[in-house]
Amino acid sequence: METTLRGVGVSHGVAIGEVRHMGTAVLEPPAKQIPTEEAEREQGRARQAVEAVAADLIARGNLAGGEAQHVLEAQAMMAQDPELMADVDRRIAVGSTAERGVYDAFASYRALLANAGEYLAGRVADLDDVRNRIVARLLGVPMPGVPDSDEPYVLIARDLAPADTALLDPALVLGFVTEEGGPTSHSAILARALGVPAVVALPGAGEIAEGTVVAVDGSTGEVFVEPSDEKRTAMESAAAARKAALSATTGPGATSDGHKVPLLANVGGPADVPAAVEAGAEGVGLFRTEFLFLDDSKQAPTEAKQIAAYRAVLEAFPEGRVVVRVLDAGADKPLDFLTPADEPNPALGVRGLRSLLDHPDVLRTQLTALSKAVEGLPVYLEVMAPMVADRADAKAFADACREAGLQAKFGAMVEIPSAALRARSILQEVEFLSLGTNDLAQYTFAADRQVGAVSRLQDPWQPALLDLVALSADAARAEGKSCGVCGEAAADPLLACVLTGLGVTSLSMGAASIPYVRATLAKYTLAQCERAASAARATDSAEEARIAAQAVLSGE
């Protein structure tokens, strides 16, 4: 009998197939004591296992490429964290085995983060995966992983670690469903990059029996268990129609009546550029430069290294627009040379622009490198600061850009409610705004963007979030300046129409989402988008907003 479950759709497309569950294993080692004379040997075993796991993560990243590579390299750094390793050594020195020392040290770190309410708690799935890989290697047991199957299937898991998600074979894994996670989790981001339909934060997903046929709609978040023939036919027809529409729509982003909405790509570095170009991106709306800095948490990359990376991206978009976000360090991207080590809540502490203003030499080097990288290139460079709270922040950033001799437009990211509320004031100092809807939702609703339990508050359809978008867009329009969206909200085709109706002037997203957004925008006029936006804002919940907008656009 057909039943319907609803989670959070995070990657477009439809998948219909039999369920296979992610393999599991008991990885808690026994708590036994070792003689003191064996401590040094056990410490050596632990270090060897850590280095092997870090090397494996880096190798997986090299195979996956693109944004997945950056995620896995960051995870490798997590495995080698010196404070964690020091704790492992201490535990072994007082009698723990290598595997027990690792297990307990990671458990202690995990509990510390959760109890402190830190933003890093959002990376718990990543932390657990690193621990499991190290412990499995020490115990000599296989890591839980993607099931071995010759036939395509729908994968179900409690959560998917980046190391598993990055190497999924789309020819076999038709789609995946997880019980945990949120729309901005690593798994969701990598699913979109792979083009695999995915639904996260689905309670009870693990109870669906192995071999059961399910139909997954990665756009709506619906999972149909044992779908009827009629439902399967309807979903397959809709998927075929969507694919045909994608193929038929090319060129710059625009509504059906010709209102231009540039569609840009979010990239982490040169490796992400080919997919963006292939998808027809009109430029880059978010160049996340922090991935370059995460290669070595001990020191900033040299000016020469930065110039090479920036120029490789800039060269790919002649006559296009490339928006570079300066280093966004802190919170879930700590850097030893920049980030305070003793903050009780890094998400609300010294992160983003605040870190850079505390370390003006790091900001100056980055701005100088950008200035040199763009020399002689026919590209429109724009540079923006993360975590701008008020006009003083915006002025400090603009002044730093001018002092570095940077010939580019200077902008501010709207990720804090205060920036949306006072957007017109901020625009007295900068030339454009870019809405980071992921963090803006987090700070608006006090809801960690990685915690599945509060995923409904991370839904970019929340009317309160749409109100803040509208405030920002209205302020930009009044000042004759631009206001784009570079958060994950831009990747939702229906929401892209609403954002356009709110007055957003450009949309930036993962490359895989660009064709979907382009095809959907092309179906509606600007007036229809404006009516859909008004209808969505008039509701009281994300679900009601989505339904209201859909009703307007479908002519109901």
Class of residue 251 by CB neighbours under 10 A (exposed 0-12, middle 13-18, buried 19+): exposed
Report whether 538 contacts 548 (CB < 8 A). Answer: yes
Please report which helix (H) or strand (E) contains residue 285, including its range.
strand 283-288
Determine the distance from the C-alpha atom of residue 362 to the mean position of all C-alpha atoms in its chain, rounded to a whole number.
Answer: 24
Is 486 a residue of the active site?
yes
Comparing CA positions, the residue from 69, 50, 67 lying closest to residue 58 is 69
Phi and psi based region of residue 51 (left: phi greater than 0; alpha: psi -120 to 50; beta: remaining) = alpha
Alpha helices by DSSP H, listed for 26-97, are 39-64, 66-79, 82-93
What is the spatial distance between Cα 180 and Cα 160, in angstroms, rounded to a whole number? 9
Count of CB atoms situated within 10 Å of the CB of 527: 12
Alpha helices by DSSP H, listed for 94-160, are 98-116, 124-139
Determine the distance from the C-alpha atom of residue 121 to the mean position of all C-alpha atoms in its chain, rounded to a whole number.
Answer: 15
Query: What is the bridge-based pairing of β-strands 153-157 and 14-21?
Result: parallel
Comparing CA positions, the residue from 335, 324, 20, 332 lying closest to residue 149 is 20
Phi and psi based region of residue 284 (left: phi greater than 0; alpha: psi -120 to 50; beta: remaining) = beta
354 Cβ contact list (under 8 Å, min separation 6):
330, 387
> Which residue is catalytic, options 186, 483, 497, 529?
186
480 Cβ contact list (under 8 Å, min separation 6):
none
Report whether 49 contacts 230 (CB < 8 A). Answer: no
Is 359 a residue of the active site?
no
Report whether 459 contacts 183 (CB < 8 A). Answer: yes
> Which residue is catalytic, options 12, 359, 401, 486?
486
Provide the CB-side half-sphere exposure for 230 (13 A, CA): 2
Name the residues annotated as catalytic. 186, 486
